Amino acid sequence: MIPLVSICVQTYNHKDYIKQCLDGILMQKTDFSFEIILGEDESNDGTREICKQYASKHTEKIRLFLRSRKDVIYINGRPTGRYNFIENLKACKGKYIALCEGDDYWINPLKLQKQVDFLEKNQDFRICYHAVKIYNQGKQEFIPEYNTREVEDITTINDLAQGNYINTPSVLIRNEIKIPKWFTKCALGDWTFYMLVVNSSKIMKMPEEMAVYRVHTESIWSGKSVEQRMIDTNKNIKILILSRLFNEKVNSILIKKLNYYNSKLDKSQRITIGKFDRHIFRLKYGQSTDFYLRSHI
């Protein structure tokens, strides 16, 4: 029986968190079937052993994939879980895909049912997400939401192009996405992924807090300086623009965002887009050059 929903769980060195993550998924009450695509990235802290135990106990729900560190994709010189994520997506059989990193967890047993019900009834939406609680692992307490900005309940790619406001453990999407080769170069994997998913459709936010996003010192993004975040964001924006997957309005928003960060950076750190960049991108990824960019960059 093909499941209606596939839940992608990427985990690496989450020994203290992965049980809570999996328990939050397994407690879901639904009138449809779902599968857990559990990608374990060869942890060295005992996470893999816990995943094996859960997969053995819940054979009807969990499909465990044991990844190797030799396949890890480095982005801007840093190891990431991108390979694990991409391979998990490939394994998804469901009509819908939900996301939950191994250090986050769900707290409402009706989360999946509510989101599926919405997308089933609203074909013009491709993403449904909800509010989350933020837990600071270091302080051992919940803290006010600071990770995303306030937006309307219904948004589009024009809103998303201005910056991410979707927390990963809150997402349910339609399984209609093709991952381009250049996705392995994007430091902001979650934001880029949602940009690829939404396309010309709409995004729905549910106000109820149905998951917990965990903040801790091991976080790749949180551990970067403000300057490095701006540099990585600009590199990401450059790739999005060069991809030519977005319309003129979206590109203009991205260009404005790139120029803003450039104004905050030292001249040597600024990211620009030139004719040579477009040529190399076309050769590597099969995209066409864009005349629009020539007059705006």
Q: Tokens 């934001």 sit at which residue?
A: 191
Per the structure block, which two tokens stand in for 208? 């109820």
Note the pLDDT tens digit of each residue in 248-295: 999 999 999 999 999 999 999 999 888 778 777 887 887 654 444 444
125: helix, coil or strand? strand
Q: Helix, strand, coil: what percent of the chain each, to 5? A: 40, 20, 40
Query: What is the CA 78 to chain-centroid distance, rounded?
Result: 17
Query: What Å distances lie between residue 95 and 86, 171, 210, 297, CA to CA?
Result: 17, 14, 21, 39
The residue-averaged pLDDT of 152-173 equals 97
- Residue 285: predicted pLDDT: 86
**Cα Rg of the chain, angstroms:** 19
Q: Which CATH superfamily is domain 5-215 in?
A: Spore Coat Polysaccharide Biosynthesis Protein SpsA; Chain A (3.90.550.10)
pTM: 0.93
Name the strands in the sheet holding 96-99, side by side, starting at the edge strand that comes first in the sequence: 62-66, 34-40, 5-11, 96-99, 172-174, 125-130, 202-206, 154-155
d(CA 254, CA 79): 26
Would you list the domain boundaries of the chain? Answer: 5-215, 226-294
Residue 268 zone, left/alpha/beta (φ > 0; ψ -120 to 50; rest): alpha
Note the pLDDT tens digit of each residue in 66-118: 999 999 999 999 999 999 999 999 999 999 999 999 999 999 999 999 999 99
Query: What is the CA 35 to chain-centroid distance, rounded?
Result: 19
Note the pLDDT tens digit of each residue in 19-70: 999 999 999 999 999 999 999 999 999 999 999 999 999 999 999 999 999 9
d(CA 168, CA 146): 14
Per the structure block, which two tokens stand in for 289? 């050059």
Query: What Å distances lie between residue 186 and 48, 64, 66, 172, 245, CA to CA?
Result: 27, 26, 24, 21, 15
Please check whether residue 206 is in contact with residue 113, taking contact to mean a CB–CB distance below 8 angstroms: no
